[in-house]
Copies of this chain bind each other. A is one copy, B any other.
């Protein structure tokens, strides 16, 4: 097989997505982002909502803050209290989340097969597509070059 410029062994850069998954690719981080999108901001609320262990939550939030996905905001002074809010970068993870939710709905028979993701203004179930500004068209994953979907085969 041919490796195209991706060195991932020791301390090498690795591709962008590998770094990203090193930050966000654990069992909790994406769930934390989702909780953030649902409006959860406080330590104890994350804890209760996800059932994550406190020390792990502490460490995870610290890391997500460090990588600019959440920010730690003082929201009260008397007893000093902080909460965690998604940054713009954190919000920008929502397409990935939506894709995961859609996949979950389609391939996990389990439980409600009710559609949970809709276009807010009209209530229609949403589709996810790629958009080409030049061509003014939408297209599916097979016309994407770069993840390797269409490399060789």
Chain A residues close to B by CB (< 8 Å): 1-6, 8-10, 13, 15-22, 24-28, 30-31, 34, 37-40, 45, 49-51, 67-68, 89, 91-112, 116-135, 138-139, 141, 143-153
In the complex, are the beta carbons of A139 and B110 less than 8 A apart?
no
Residue of B with least CB distance to A20 = B104
In the complex, are the beta carbons of A94 and B144 less than 8 A apart?
yes
In the complex, are the beta carbons of A152 and B101 less than 8 A apart?
no
From B30, B92, B119, B145, give the contact of A25 (CB < 8 A): B30
In the complex, are the beta carbons of A130 and B135 less than 8 A apart?
no
Residue of B with least CB distance to A27 = B25
With A8-B51, A103-B96 as known contacts, state yes or no: A138 contacts B129, CB within 8 Å.
yes
